[in-house]
Amino acid sequence: MYGVVESVIAGPISGHVRVMGVTWKARLCIPQAGYILVPDTPVMVFGCHGDTLLVLSTEARTEVAT
């Protein structure tokens, strides 16, 4: 399943994604990687934890926190 970031998702900090027209709370499925997903970044959903989707960017270029 694929979606688009609506609010910033960074490391362990949750944000929001839109999937199939519905907005969901989401976080990175690998939070220790240090990625920052900004709005409009396409993502793939890898699973869920409760009501939170676990996502990663589908783009080759993603900002990394330093």
- Tokens encoding 29: 């499925």
Name the residue with higher pLDDT: 11 or 62. 11
Strand partners, 44: 2, 56
Top-level class of domain 2-64: mainly beta
Q: How much is the pTM?
A: 0.85
Q: What SS3 string covers 30-47?
A: CHHHCEEECCCCEEEEEE
pLDDT tier, 65 (very low <50, low <70, confident <90, very high otherwise): low
Identify the three-state secondary structure at position 59.
coil
pLDDT at 52: 97
Q: What pLDDT, in 10s, does the model give residues 22-62?
A: 999 999 998 777 789 999 999 999 999 999 999 999 985 55
- Tokens encoding 21: 């027209």
Identify the three-state secondary structure at position 21.
coil
| Domain coordinates in residue numbering, the chain | 2-64
66, pLDDT greater than 60? no
